[in-house]
Chain A
Amino acid sequence: MTAAPRMITLASELLGPVPADEHVLQVDDLTVGLRPVAGDSAESIVDGVSLTVAAGRAVGLVGESGSGKTLTALAVAGLLPSAIQVVGGRIELAGREVTGLGERDARAHLAASVGVVFQNPTASLNPRMRIAAQLREALPAGTIRRRARERSADLLRAVGIADVHKTLGAFPHELSGGLNQRVVIAMALARDPKLLVADEPTTALDVSVQAQVLDLIDELRERLGLGVLLVSHDIGVVSDRTDHVYVMSGGRIVESGPTAEVLGDPHHAYTRRLLAATPSRLEPVGVAERGQPVVEPAAPVADQLEVRDVRRTFTVRGSAGRARHVALDGVDLFVTKGQAIGLVGESGSGKTTLARIIVGLERVDSGVVSYEGNPLARHTRAQRRQWRREVQYVFQDPYSSLDPRLTVDRTLREPLEINFPGLSRGDVAARVDSLLDEVELPRAFRDRHPSELSGGQRQRVGIARALATEPSVIIADEPVSALDLSVQARILRLLARLRIERNLTYLFISHDLAVVRYLCEDLVVLREGSVVERGPTEDVLERPASPYTRALVDAIPGRALVRS
C-alpha cells in the first residue's frame, strides 16, 4: 500500500489550477454555541475565530482537547451536531458566503465545495454498504450509473489504492484503517472541492500509515490546488505539513502565523507550553538526574524477567468460521533489575499481548515466562504471591481502568487490603495518603469518583494503584497515549521520577518512539509477533538496523521541530 498513485486526471485539473493565494475559505469572527435548551443558558464554545485558507495551501489548526478546533472545522463544513449552532460571524467558502444561505442552498454549496476527512476512518464509513456504493453517493448528483463506476475507480487510483476493484467490492470492516482513510479522502474529493477539511486525519492510524496519508494529502493539495485545513493536536504533524498555523485554546485563537515562525519562536505562553510538552522535545532523563546507576554494570546481572520463545495464537470466531491470528511468534525478552525497556511496534505487532502475558492476564500457547529465574508455572504459592505483588501493570485507558463506582480511596485500598492483610485501617489510610502524595494528587481527592477526575488525574490514580503493592517491576501499556500533550509530558516526568525514587524496573510499551526515547535506555522493536531489533535506544533510533525500524523512525512527525 505504498503511495505510488498513477497520475489520474481529475476534473479540477482540466479546469486548471486554482490561482494560488486565492482564498477558498474565509472565516470571520465565528462564534459557535450550544443551542439554548430550556433551563440552560446559551454558552459559546468557539468564540470569535477568524481564519483564512488559500488555494493550494495547508493551514494548521492546533490545540488540545476542548480548545474548540474540531467545532470550528465542523462549522466550516456545515456538520455541527444538532445541539450546537453557529451563533455569530460569517463563513465564506469559495467566494460565497455560507452563513447567509438557506438550509438547502447551504447544503448544496457545502457539499460541492468542501471535502471532509475525519479522525476515525472506519467509523466514518457506513458499515453495511460496500465502498462502491458509498463512493457513488459522493459523486455529484446526476452522474450516470455507468460513469459512476469508472469515476469511483479513478478516485481510488487517485488516492493511491492499487487493487481498485477489490476495494470497491469490499465493506469498510474488511479494509485496514489506512485504506479506509484513503477511501474517505477519495470521497471527499469526489465532487472536486476547493477546500479539504481534515480533522485529525491520522490520529487513529499507525505511524507509518500516518505518514503515507499525510503525503497523499500533500500531494493532492499541490496537484489539485486544494486548500487544506488540517486540524490536529499533534504539533509534529502540523509543523511538517502546514504553511500557516492557528493555535487555539479555550475556544479562541491565541496565536497565528507562518508555521515555522510560530513554532520556532512562539510568543504566546500557551504555544510555548504546548511545544515544550511535545515528546520529541522532552529532555531524556539523564544519568545525572537519576543519580548513581541502579545496578553495578560490572556485577553479574541476573535477568529479573525472562521471556523465552513465547507463542500465542488467537482464534477469532465469527459466522464465517474461525480465523487464526498469530499474536506472538516465538518472542524472547530479558529484563534485568533496574532496567527500563521500551517495547515498540505498530498495532497488531503483539506488544500488548506480550505485556499481558508477563503479568498473567493472558496465557501462553508455548514458551516460558520466568520471574527471578523461576518459571511462573513452577511457582510455589508464596512465590506466586510475591510475583503478583512485585510485577504491576499500568493500563492504557485511564477511563476504563478505574471502577466508576469506587472512590479513589477504595480503588487504592483494594490492592493494600489484598496484599497486606495485616494492616490496620489507620495504616491503610496513611498508605493511601502517601500514595496520593507520591503521584502528586491532593489528598482530598481520595473521596472523588473517577468521573470527577480528568484523564491525567485518573492515570495518576492508576499509577498509584500499581505502586500500592510496592512492586519492583512496572509494566506500562501506552500509559500516555490517550492523554493530551501537556498532560502526557507531566505523566512521563512522574514515571521517570518514580523510577529513580523507587528503584523500579520498567517495561514500557508505546507506539510513539519519541515517548520511549524519553523514558527508556533500551528498546525492543516488535513486528507481527516477532522481535525485529533490540538495543540501546539511541543506537536503534540513530542507526536502525532493520528497514522496518528505519521506516518507523522516518515516519515520526515533527523531526524538523526537534532540530529547530
Chain B
Amino acid sequence: MSLVQVTEADGGSAVPTDVGVEAEAGRRRLQRRTIGAGGWVGAGVLVAVLATTLIGPLTSGDPLAQNFDAILRAPSAGHLFGTDELGRDVFVRVVFGGRTALAITVVSAVVASLLGLVLALAGALFGGWVDAVTSRLADVQLAVPSIVLAIVVLSFVGNSFVPIVFVLVLGSWVLTFRVIRGHARAVVAQQYVEAARVAGAGRFGIAWRHLIPSVLPLLAVAFTINASSALLLESSLGYLGLGVQPPDPDWGQMVATGQAQIFTAPWIALFPGLAVVATAVGLQLLGDGLAERFVGGPVTRRGLAR
C-alpha cells in the first residue's frame, strides 16, 4: 500500500448528502453573480445624480439669483423645473441643493461607517467590557429615535454643517456597528481565526488579515444604507427647518417652503422631493445589489438606523 497517493480523487464534500452537489453548483453560480441589474441601475442613478450636482454648478446659474419678473413660472425650456416665489430657477437650486445634501450625506455616512466599524471590531476582538460598553452605547442610541435627538441637538446647538453631520452620524452609526459586530463576532468564532491564533497571530494580525477583509463588503453595504438613511434624515431635518439654512438651497427645506404653494406651483416642492427620492432609490438599489452579492440577503435600513 503506497503511502503517497494521487490526491485529485479527494472529491466529495463534508456532509454525505447528494443534494450537496447541487448546492455547490448553486454557490458557484452565486459567486459569479454581480450586484445585479438593480444594483447597476442604482449605481447609474447615483452616478447621474453625482454628475449633475458636481458638473451642474459649472454650467448653470446662481441658485440665489432672484428675478422678480419671473416669479412662480411653470417648468419650461428656459426654467427646466420652473421658478420659485423669488423667481429663482428651481432646477439650479435643486442641483446646488444636491451638492449640500450629498456632501452632508457622504461625510456623515463615511464617519458613521468608520465609527461603527472601529467600535464593532474592538468589541468583537476584545470582547468582555469593551464589547459590553459599545453595545450599551448602541442601546442608548437606539432608545431615542434619532430624529428626536437630532431635533434636540440642532435646535439648541445650531444648525451648521458640523452639528448636522454630528446628528446624522449619531443616527446611523448603530447600523454599521450592529451589522459589522454580528458578522465580526461570527468570524472571530470561525475556526480559521482560531487557526491563526494557534499559529501565533495577535489581535491586530487577525484583524488585519482576516477580519477587515471579511467585513469590507459588508461595510460597503452598510455605507450605502447609512448614506440613504442619512439622506432621508437630513431631508427630514431640512423639512422641519433644522437643516441647512436658507438662502442656501437644501432639498428638504425646499420642499417645506414650497409646500405652501403646492396647489399653485407644485414644481417648487415636487422636484426637490423627487431628487431626494431618486437619490435614495439609487442608494437603496445599490445597497440591495451589494447586499445580495456579498451578504446574501437584505439588510433593513430603517430598522436599524432609525
* Chains A and B touch each other in the complex, with CB atoms below 8 Å apart: yes
Residues of A within 8 A of B (CB): 34, 45, 64-71, 81, 83-84, 119, 200, 203, 233, 283, 359-361, 385, 388-389, 391-393, 395-403, 405-406, 411, 414-415, 418-419, 440-442, 451, 454-457, 460, 462, 465-466, 468-469, 482-484, 486-487, 490, 493-494, 496-497
Q: Are B195 and A457 in contact (CB under 8 A)?
A: no
Q: Are A456 and B12 in contact (CB under 8 A)?
A: yes
Q: Within the assembled complex, what's the spacing in Å between the Cα atoms of A64 and B13? A: 9
Q: Are B14 and A68 in contact (CB under 8 A)?
A: no
Interface membership of B205, Cβ < 8 A: yes
Q: Are B200 and A419 in contact (CB under 8 A)?
A: yes
Q: Which of A418, A469, A484 contacts B12 (CB 8 A)?
A: A484
Q: Within the assembled complex, what's the spacing in Å between the Cα atoms of A397 and B13? A: 11
Q: Within the assembled complex, what's the spacing in Å between the Cα atoms of A411 and B209? A: 10
Interface membership of B59, Cβ < 8 A: no
B79 to chain A, nearest CB (A): 48
Q: Find chain A residues with CB under 8 A from B210 CB.
A: 403, 405-406
Q: Find chain B residues with CB under 8 A from A396 CB.
A: 191
A504 to chain B, nearest CB (A): 15
| Residue of chain A at shortest CB distance from B21 | A66
Q: Are A68 and B197 in contact (CB under 8 A)?
A: no
Q: Are A455 and B16 in contact (CB under 8 A)?
A: no
Q: Are A66 and B12 in contact (CB under 8 A)?
A: yes
Q: Within the assembled complex, what's the spacing in Å between the Cα atoms of A487 and B9? A: 8
Q: Are B195 and A395 in contact (CB under 8 A)?
A: yes
Provide the B181-199 mask, 1 if CB < 8 A to any CB of A, else 0: 0000000001111111111
Q: Within the assembled complex, what's the spacing in Å between the Cα atoms of A455 and B213? A: 23
Q: Find chain A residues with CB under 8 A from B9 CB.
A: 486-487, 490
A269 to chain B, nearest CB (A): 12
B26 to chain A, nearest CB (A): 9
B82 to chain A, nearest CB (A): 46
A sample of 22 inter-chain contacts (CB < 8 A) reads A65-B18, A66-B13, A84-B22, A200-B16, A233-B16, A361-B198, A392-B199, A393-B194, A398-B14, A401-B195, A405-B210, A406-B209, A414-B201, A454-B13, A456-B7, A460-B7, A465-B199, A468-B199, A490-B5, A490-B10, A493-B3, A494-B3
A455 to chain B, nearest CB (A): 5
Of listed A65, A391, A419, residue having the most chain B CB within 10 A: A65
Q: Are B20 and A65 in contact (CB under 8 A)?
A: yes
Interface membership of B17, Cβ < 8 A: yes
Q: Within the assembled complex, what's the spacing in Å between the Cα atoms of A455 and B21? A: 13
| Residue of chain B at shortest CB distance from A498 | B3
Q: Are B191 and A389 in contact (CB under 8 A)?
A: no
Q: Find chain A residues with CB under 8 A from B209 CB.
A: 403, 406, 414
Q: Are B1 and A393 in contact (CB under 8 A)?
A: no
Q: Are A359 and B195 in contact (CB under 8 A)?
A: no
Interface membership of B27, Cβ < 8 A: yes
Q: Are B13 and A65 in contact (CB under 8 A)?
A: yes
Provide the B8-47 mask, 1 if CB < 8 A to any CB of A, else 0: 0111111111111110000110010000000000000000
Interface membership of B214, Cβ < 8 A: yes
Q: Which of A67, A203, A388, A403 contacts B18 (CB 8 A)?
A: A67
Q: Within the assembled complex, what's the spacing in Å between the Cα atoms of A466 and B196? A: 10
Q: Which of B7, B12, B194, B200 contacts A65 (CB 8 A)?
A: B12
Q: Are A482 and B15 in contact (CB under 8 A)?
A: yes
Q: Assuming A34-B22, A65-B17, A482-B15, is B199 touching A418 (CB within 8 A)?
A: yes
Kindly list the 7 A-B residue pairs having the minimum CB-CB distance in the complex, ordered from nearest.
A456-B10, A415-B199, A484-B12, A401-B191, A482-B14, A70-B18, A233-B16
Q: Are A45 and B11 in contact (CB under 8 A)?
A: no
Of listed B4, B18, B196, B210, residue having the most chain A CB within 10 A: B18
| Residue of chain B at shortest CB distance from A39 | B29
Q: Find chain B residues with CB under 8 A from A451 CB.
A: 27-28, 31
Q: Are A440 and B198 in contact (CB under 8 A)?
A: no
Q: Are B19 and A440 in contact (CB under 8 A)?
A: no
Q: Find chain A residues with CB under 8 A from B191 CB.
A: 395-397, 400-401
Q: Are A487 and B12 in contact (CB under 8 A)?
A: yes
Q: Within the assembled complex, what's the spacing in Å between the Cα atoms of A451 and B26? A: 12
Q: Find chain A residues with CB under 8 A from B14 CB.
A: 397-399, 455, 482-483
Q: Are B192 and A400 in contact (CB under 8 A)?
A: yes
Q: Within the assembled complex, what's the spacing in Å between the Cα atoms of A440 and B2? A: 13
Q: How many residues of B contact A (CB 8 A)?
A: 39
Q: Find chain A residues with CB under 8 A from B31 CB.
A: 451
Q: Are A414 and B5 in contact (CB under 8 A)?
A: no
Q: Are A454 and B10 in contact (CB under 8 A)?
A: yes
Q: Are B200 and A45 in contact (CB under 8 A)?
A: no
Q: Which of A200, A389, A440 contacts B7 (CB 8 A)?
A: A440
Q: Find chain A residues with CB under 8 A from B19 CB.
A: 70-71, 81
Q: Are A400 and B190 in contact (CB under 8 A)?
A: yes
| Residue of chain A at shortest CB distance from B1 | A283
B163 to chain A, nearest CB (A): 39
Q: Are A484 and B195 in contact (CB under 8 A)?
A: no
Q: Which of B3, B20, B194, B201 contacts A361 (CB 8 A)?
A: B194
A437 to chain B, nearest CB (A): 10
Q: Are A65 and B198 in contact (CB under 8 A)?
A: no
| Residue of chain B at shortest CB distance from A69 | B18
Q: Find chain B residues with CB under 8 A from A359 CB.
A: 198
Provide the B223-244 mask, 1 if CB < 8 A to any CB of A, else 0: 0000000000000000000000
| Residue of chain A at shortest CB distance from B7 | A440
Q: Assuming A69-B18, A70-B17, A490-B7, is B12 touching A64 (CB within 8 A)?
A: yes
Q: Within the assembled complex, what's the spacing in Å between the Cα atoms of A31 and B5? A: 34
B69 to chain A, nearest CB (A): 60
Q: Are A418 and B201 in contact (CB under 8 A)?
A: yes
In the complex, chain B residues 147-195 whose Cβ is within 8 Å of any chain A Cβ = 190-195
Q: Within the assembled complex, what's the spacing in Å between the Cα atoms of A441 and B9? A: 11
In the complex, chain B residues 243-280 whose Cβ is within 8 Å of any chain A Cβ = none
Given A70-B19, A71-B18, output 10 extra A-B contacts at Cβ < 8 Å: A65-B12, A66-B21, A233-B16, A393-B194, A400-B190, A403-B190, A403-B192, A455-B13, A482-B15, A487-B11
Q: Assuming A457-B7, A465-B199, A487-B12, is B18 touching A68 (CB within 8 A)?
A: yes
Of listed B1, B14, B21, B210, residue having the most chain A CB within 10 A: B14
| Residue of chain A at shortest CB distance from B213 | A405
Q: Which of B18, B28, B198, B213 contacts A393 (CB 8 A)?
A: B198
| Residue of chain A at shortest CB distance from B205 | A418
B204 to chain A, nearest CB (A): 12
B274 to chain A, nearest CB (A): 36
Q: Find chain A residues with CB under 8 A from B198 CB.
A: 359-361, 388, 391-393, 466
Q: Within the assembled complex, what's the spacing in Å between the Cα atoms of A302 and B284? A: 65
A116 to chain B, nearest CB (A): 14
